[in-house]
Amino acid sequence: MTSPRPFDRILIANRGEIAVRVIRACRELGIESVAVYSDADARALHTTLADVAIRIGPPPAIDSYLSIDAILAAARQSGAQAVHPGYGFLSENADFASACKAAGLTFIGPPPEAIDGMGSKIAARKTAIEAGVPVVPGETPTDQSNDAIADAARRVGFPVLLKPSEGGGGIGMKTARSDSDLVETIAQARREATAAFGDGTLYVERLIEQPRHVEFQVLADHHGHIVHVFERECSIQRRHQKVIEESPSVAVTPSLRQRMGDAAVAVARKAGYRNAGTVEFLVEGAGDSARFYFLEMNTRLQVEHPVTEQVTGIDLVRAQIGIAAGRDLPWTQKDLSQRGHAIELRVYAEDPARQDLPQAGLLLLYREPSMPGIRIDSGVTEGSEVAVHYDPLLVKLIATGETRDAARMRALAAIRNYPILGIRTNIPLLMELLEHPRFIAGNVDTGFLDAEGDTIRARLSSSPSPAVVAVAAAAREVGPTVAARGTRAKSIDPWSSLRGARV
Amino acid sequence: MSNPDDPIDVLALGNGRYQVTRGTERSIAFAVAGRDTWVFLDGRTYVVSDTPDGSPRRSRIDEQGALTAPMPATVLTVNVAAGQQVKRNDVVMVLEAMKMELPIRSPRDGVVKAIRCEAGELVQPGATLLELEGNVEG
């Protein structure tokens, strides 16, 4: 892209690592970045890194990152021409996309109609069926009473998944294995759906056992060009939230890749899709005879987009910005190829030795590994406060190598050399997973972590060795010097970081 | 290789980095001393606490029968009332943190003596959620 910059100023309606990722893309393109932040994020990495930062409200997301009014006011105040929604929060909210348009802002994502069409699981399935793509049995009962949901579950058959109709990312998704679980599961799914999305409408779906989760990245411009950028395998999940993702998938052969890629493009075309999106499939079996089912389409950038970037050499955020500015896709399908292998590890603020209990606190010490083939997409830095209000994802570590095993060994070497002190993280679990015989063999499905998790976790608790005790004694002698820096930061007035807000 | 009788030598390198030497084995550790001392060695993180029982963040019942919050969280539902009989593993309340529901289960059979929080309340780690009476051995 040698032409003039597509926008002068972009507002990023998000926080954490994805806000940082988009700020960096803006910087490369010579575009000014505008961050928004809640009071909990006044000193967060994304807030301090952007060219301009504007406060949008108190810590609860509903009053800040989910407040359309507050974000549009920030856009007006900053003079931004476009809004990048990141993932989560308002990224799949058609009202927000419409409101941006009405305010004269370019929404860096699909048109509201495509978000609506794909955000509703009923409409998305219909679109997939019309596009000739197979789907998993399921329904959203028009009668949303608990009794009607229970009836639908019995019709679809056990085991059954209950998901928020408005949701994504596995939030609020619950499984019932028999009639006796149903009442409690419906109530729990309803509560989480209402809390997370403000809408308790539930979708009921047959759970396909031992499937792989394989998704295809698509890109569509405003001139009728659509390409897929190959697959990502995301079968390592816990509670339906992804933990490790990779590209390519060991289960996908060239002929299956061709069929699934064509299906993904067909769904995107039928949906009138624009910009970056992801078509998710469940895959039963492996190899040329594997069957795949359309699961859903995520109408936004995915958390795991870096693995695609690493194996294709494409910058998806840059592509999103170019598409939003009305440019043609710079490549056709035959220009695109995969090279090597990439594995992404999601580092969460949670304690794997204690039922993945979320952790909050100050990062007393935080040192990123730097070595060949390692990319770190982080939302935190040393001294960051990890708050209880938001998603526990701290950082993504992406390892790239010539082969899957080279990438795996790089990932392991890097994650072993990644001290994060002050809160517990899932790094011990990630290390165990990378060395698990089933992961090494690529023999995984979406139930892998649920099935093996307890055995893996049992190995995690280790008592301090004499060497650890000796280091602790030495650290106590040195005193809390690194900690003191974090403590001092606490007394800073949040308003003092409002730099550039006068723009 | 090192053997268990080799002395452990720790050298502070500054900025939280430490060189650990034992026999011919050397490695780099990271550590910060605060209320607890955090140590990172060979890919593992340890919290070395002065109190033998570990951190107060643990969700557990103490000798007085007080069940405490394991982390900062919002109380979603309180499923029991004072005076109610509960069994081990009954979900007595549900907390929510980071968009996840966290069921709090009774660690033993007993009778709820008092509820110390209410739905919607933001609780801090170590805050008493409820008190149980009954046989502590359970």
- Tell me how far apart the alpha carbons of residues A299 and A111 are, in angstroms, rounded to a whole number: 10
Q: Bigger pLDDT: B5 or A173?
A: A173
Chain A CB contacts of B100 below 8 Å: 239, 358
Task: Check B101 against A192: CB less than 8 A apart.
Answer: yes
Q: What is the CA radius of gyration of chain A?
A: 22
Task: Check A467 against B41: CB less than 8 A apart.
Answer: yes
Which CATH architecture is the domain A9-108 placed in?
3-Layer(aba) Sandwich (3.40)
Determine the residue of chain B that is closest to A365 in CA distance: B32
Closest CA to B47 of A365, A381, A435, A487: A365
B61 band by pLDDT with thresholds 50, 70 and 90? low
Query: In sequence order, what are the residues at sequence separation of 6 or more whose Cβ sits closer than 8 angstroms to the Cβ of residue A451?
Result: none
Give B5→chain A minimum CA distance, Å: 11
Cβ-in-10-Å burial (0-12, 13-18, 19+) of B4 comes to: exposed
Q: Look-up: residue for tokens 């490369």?
A: A28
B64 band by pLDDT with thresholds 50, 70 and 90? low
Determine the residue of chain B that is closest to A173 in CA distance: B100
Which pLDDT score, from 0 to 100, does residue B58 have?
38
A212-458 and A9-108 share a CATH fold: no
Q: What is the pLDDT of residues A353-391, one digit of tens each?
A: 888 889 999 999 999 999 999 999 999 999 999 988 999
- Tell me how far apart the alpha carbons of residues B127 and B68 are, in angstroms, rounded to a whole number: 5
- In this structure, the number of other CB atoms found within 10 A of the CB of residue A133 comes to 22
Which pLDDT score, from 0 to 100, does residue A168 have?
67
Read off the tokens for A306.
Answer: 């870096």
Compare CB distances from B97 to A358, A422, A482 and report the shortest one's residue.
Answer: A358
Chain A CB contacts of B32 below 8 Å: 364-365, 421-422, 475, 480, 482-483
Query: In sequence order, what are the residues at sequence separation of 6 or more whose Cβ sits closer than 8 angstroms to the Cβ of residue A225?
Result: A328, A329, A332
**At the fourth CATH level, which superfamily is domain A212-458?**
ATP-grasp fold, B domain (3.30.470.20)
Compare CB distances from B33 to A350, A419, A479 and report the shortest one's residue.
Answer: A479
Judge if pTM exceeds 0.90.
no
ipTM of the complex: 0.80
**At the fourth CATH level, which superfamily is domain A137-206?**
ATP-grasp fold, A domain (3.30.1490.20)
Query: In sequence order, what are the residues at sequence separation of 6 or more whose Cβ sits closer than 8 angstroms to the Cβ of residue A193?
Result: A163, A164, A165, A166, A167, A172, A199, A200, A201, A202
Task: Check B43 against A415: CB less than 8 A apart.
Answer: yes
Residue B47 has pLDDT above 60, yes or no: yes
Each domain of chain A, given as residue ranges in start order, spans 9-108, 137-206, 212-458
Q: What is the pLDDT of residues A423-437, one digit of tens each?
A: 999 999 999 999 999
Task: Check B44 against A422: CB less than 8 A apart.
Answer: no
Q: Please pick, among A55, A206, A300, A408, the residue that the annotation labels catalytic.
A: A300
Q: Bigger pLDDT: A58 or B62?
A: A58
Q: Identify the structural domains of chain B with CATH numbers, from first to last.
A: 8-48 (no CATH), 66-133 (2.40.50.100)
Determine the residue of chain A that is closest to B71 in CA distance: A359
- Tell me how far apart the alpha carbons of residues A339 and A332 are, in angstroms, rounded to a whole number: 17
Task: Check B101 against A188: CB less than 8 A apart.
Answer: yes
A300 flagged as catalytic? yes
Where chain A has pLDDT below 50, the residues are 1, 483-503
Which pLDDT score, from 0 to 100, does residue A489 have?
31
Average pLDDT over residues B95-115: 81
Q: Which residues pair with B38 in a beta bridge?
A: B32, B47
Q: How many angstroms from the chain centroid is the CA of residue A204?
A: 23
Which pLDDT score, from 0 to 100, does residue A276 have?
98
Task: Check B98 against A358: CB less than 8 A apart.
Answer: yes
Alpha helices in A285-345 (DSSP H): 305-312, 316-324
